[in-house]
Structure 1
Amino acid sequence: MFPRPSPRSCDTFVALPPAAAGGRVVFGKNSDRPADEVQEIVHVPAAAHPPGAALECTYIKIEQVEKTHAVVLSRPSWLWGAEMGANEHGVCIGNEAVWGREEICDDEALLGMDLVRLGLERADTAEKALTVIVDLLEKYGQGGNCMESHMAFTYHNSFLIADRKEAWVLETSGKYWAAEKVEGSITPEIMMEILRDKESGINMEGGFMTTGSMVSVLPQQPNLPCIHFFTGTPDPARSVFKPFIFVPNITQLLKTSSPTFGHDDPVKKQPRFQNKPDRRHELYKKHESAAVVMETIEGQGKEMLKEIQQLEKQKISEMESILQNGCLDINQMVNLFSQCVDEELKIYS
């Protein structure tokens, strides 16, 4: 029996009108995970599935539904689910680790991160996503190791679920749950600054640290696009929040997607986690080297940090223009996130 790590949790926020500037819902999360864990940004297109199809989640198989929505996910690269993400209908979900009096189950079931992805793939509103998660929780339960390690790290889950109109908090303990609708001037830039705050512990450092961050802007007007910003790299204070908009014909986000290992992946074999493969994607590798420069080489590091801050500021300005003017060139948006990744990589090279 391995000792359990000390409790750790993430930071997830939502601001609703009138608190959110521009009459928009603003959602944000820092994913605080083991410091050496790679978080990838992936896009999964909408899909139709044959009747009776099975879906392989991180540890167990469940029944697949006939249709799943397109999603963009920020996820630990070793598992099926996600720490946070959004779907094509403007639904955003992030989970938090919670501990309580109810015993935590080590038996393999659905991870809280699996439930995040399942809610996004199967629901077109926040309230429907809540129902999806609750139904799956009651049917399959939650459990299993939440870390790519021999050391057992298990917890219950809390979920923050938002869409263009409302937000819900869902607390769970085993198969028990309780939900509450969130009732209540913040901008995306302010949300990003909050997520970068190290003094408060929101931007965590050490053995557990912020390995990925997300901020979403959800305008109430259905004719305006929801805009989702992801870092895909550790430490938001030294990362770029890059914009993503759902449009047709988006291709896979190759430079933020980790390598796959199929049936040879140690997470798929029994006993699990006998070794740990290199899951770093291209952006992660370049950022890893750049972070050392920003930390240790004063002149060069300061200039590099200034350049990535300017890049982010430029992208935020461009996205604000889209929301203000309602002008969206779909052809340009297809590679919006990937082009920003390329610009970030150029700064690091």
Structure 2
Amino acid sequence: MSLVSCDTFVVCGDQTTTGEIIFGKNSDRPCGEIQEVVYYPRQQYTEQEKLKCTYIEIDQVESTHAVILSKPEWMWGAEMGANEHGVVIGNEAVWNRLSNGSEDLIPRLLGMDLLRLGLERSSTAREAVDVITNLLEKYGQGGQCSNIISDFSYHNSFLIADEKEAWVVETAERLWVAELVTTGVRNISNCMSITNKIDLCHPELKTRAKNSGWWDGESEFNWCEVIGATAGDLTDPGSRFSCGRKLLESGASDKNFTVSSMMDVLRDEPSGINRPSGNFPTAGSQVSIMGKRSDNVNHYHWFTATPSPNKSIFKPFSFRMSLPLTQATSSSSPLAQVRKHELWVHHAGACIQTDHLRKIEHTFIDKAFEARKSGKEEENLFNISTEEELKLYFA
């Protein structure tokens, strides 16, 4: 399991320059898998309509919210994304005492399906916790998690945030716990990270733990210890979890953490957070700033839509921008080559100096903040910055 990696981060408003929550994730996936960035509008559905997720059908709801997703092109679900109400979610693969190779391969909801469902069906981070955990209890999680690696499955953890707070949700089979985060910094990797600060949990968790002999029923309940995590390391100072936390704390040491600070964290190679190569390279990245509705400031989301953030441009998106979203980041586009979207194809064959990429990126970070401040946000900066990136590759 040591080759598997992903990292998700949140910095609360008490540590940022603007007082807004900042979220980030690197999605590290099997080498050769394509990740696309796509937009789905809000939708209305008829009563008793069914929804086909990656493997199974579930009950559809009356309406879903507009979402932008960074997702493996072959599955219904997503690795990370945001919705029109300013909810963002990233997930991680985790293993524990209930992980079972054959049982976990039975088709159910993938963790990535749960992530997309959480975005489509919630208007706050707290609501997303309920959506994900209720669906987990009802349908379970499971199924092949790759179209490249055979017999690859895992359980999931999630980091969910909105303008007010963040939640960490960690799961084992259909069991789960959740931790509320309102100050400081927090990150998740491929290890269980909730210990004894449990703000919400599965109603039968402690009963099952006691009856199964995992917990004596008297000592303080520690999720990490009880559930028996089998991958990742919460305490090893050299682990990605520990390194990620140190990077967040360093960036927020003067309480001036910014969107660019989060991009720097996602680009860190010595920690293993950014993986430009290997069996599980970084396939896509997201950074979000959660605008405060009380200040009439919109939330913005930056996506690379390409591997290795050191060789990519974070491109800004807002739900107030004009649509449609460019087809250059969609694997369903006529310009895609064997499901590789246009930007992915040209990025793979390019050799561009980093300073050229950063110049475009910084220009569009400035444009995004200018648009947020002025309220004039109709111009689709994601589309324009994608065009500028493609021009570099064609030059």
The two structures have a TM-score, normalised by structure 2, of 0.77
How far, CA to CA, are the matches of 1:47 and 1:317 in structure 2? 32
What is the one-letter code of the residue matched to 1:279? R
How far, CA to CA, are the matches of 2:15 and 2:259 in structure 1? 12
Q: What's 2:105 paired with?
A: 106
Superposition deviation, residue 336 in structure 1 = 2.0
Q: What's 2:392 paired with?
A: 347
Question: Is residue 2:271 matched to residue 1:200?
Answer: yes
Alignment of 1:1-349 (within 5 A): 6=2, 8-104=4-100, 105-149=104-148, 151-184=150-183, 185=255, 186-204=257-275, 205-222=277-294, 223-247=296-320, 250-259=323-332, 278-290=338-350, 293=351, 301-302=352-353, 305-323=354-372, 326-332=373-379, 335-349=380-394
Alignment gaps of 5+ in structure 2 = 184-254
SS at match of 2:307: coil
What is the one-letter code of the residue matched to 2:280? F
Q: Which runs of 4+ in 1 moved over 3 A?
A: none
Superposition deviation, residue 345 in structure 1 = 0.2
How far, CA to CA, are the matches of 1:331 and 1:87 in structure 2? 17
Superposition deviation, residue 328 in structure 1 = 2.2
Superposition deviation, residue 321 in structure 1 = 2.4
How far, CA to CA, are the matches of 1:127 and 1:251 in structure 2? 30
For the 8 Å contact 2:117–2:131, the answer to whether it is kept is yes
How far, CA to CA, are the matches of 2:360 and 2:108 in structure 1? 42
For the 8 Å contact 2:50–2:60, the answer to whether it is kept is yes
What is the one-letter code of the residue matched to 2:359? Q
For the 8 Å contact 1:41–1:253, the answer to whether it is kept is no
The two structures have a TM-score, normalised by structure 1, of 0.87
How far, CA to CA, are the matches of 1:248 and 1:331 in structure 2? 4
How far, CA to CA, are the matches of 2:69 and 2:366 in structure 1? 23
What is the one-letter code of the residue matched to 1:313? H
What is the one-letter code of the residue matched to 1:151? S
For the 8 Å contact 1:89–1:124, the answer to whether it is kept is yes
Q: What's 1:268 paired with?
A: none
Superposition deviation, residue 7 in structure 1 = 5.5
Superposition deviation, residue 249 in structure 1 = 5.2
User: CA offsets per residue over residues 66-108 of structure 1, 9 Å max, x none?
Assistant: 0000000000000000000000000000000001111331100
With 103-112 and 89-98 compared, the bigger mean Cα shift is at 103-112
For the 8 Å contact 2:164–2:182, the answer to whether it is kept is no
What is the one-letter code of the residue matched to 1:225? N
Superposition deviation, residue 221 in structure 1 = 3.6
How far, CA to CA, are the matches of 1:169 and 1:60 in structure 2? 26
For the 8 Å contact 2:12–2:21, the answer to whether it is kept is yes
How far, CA to CA, are the matches of 1:162 and 1:309 in structure 2? 27
User: CA offsets per residue over residues 294-348 of structure 1, 9 Å max, x none?
Assistant: xxxxxxx43xx2211100011111222234xx3122432xx22111100100011
Number of paired residues? 315
With 131-140 and 149-158 compared, the bigger mean Cα shift is at 149-158
SS at match of 1:23: coil
Superposition deviation, residue 251 in structure 1 = 1.1
How far, CA to CA, are the matches of 2:384 and 2:133 in structure 1? 38
Superposition deviation, residue 260 in structure 1 = 7.4
For the 8 Å contact 1:16–1:26, the answer to whether it is kept is yes
How far, CA to CA, are the matches of 1:328 and 1:103 in structure 2? 48
For the 8 Å contact 1:23–1:220, the answer to whether it is kept is no
CA RMSD of aligned residues (A): 1.6
How far, CA to CA, are the matches of 1:259 and 1:283 in structure 2? 13
How far, CA to CA, are the matches of 1:206 and 1:221 in structure 2? 42
How far, CA to CA, are the matches of 1:331 and 1:130 in structure 2? 31
Alignment gaps of 5+ in structure 1 = 262-276, 294-300
SS at match of 2:158: strand
How far, CA to CA, are the matches of 2:24 and 2:345 in structure 1? 25
User: CA offsets per residue over residues 34-84 of structure 1, 9 Å max, x none?
Assistant: 121110000000010111111010000101000000000000000000000
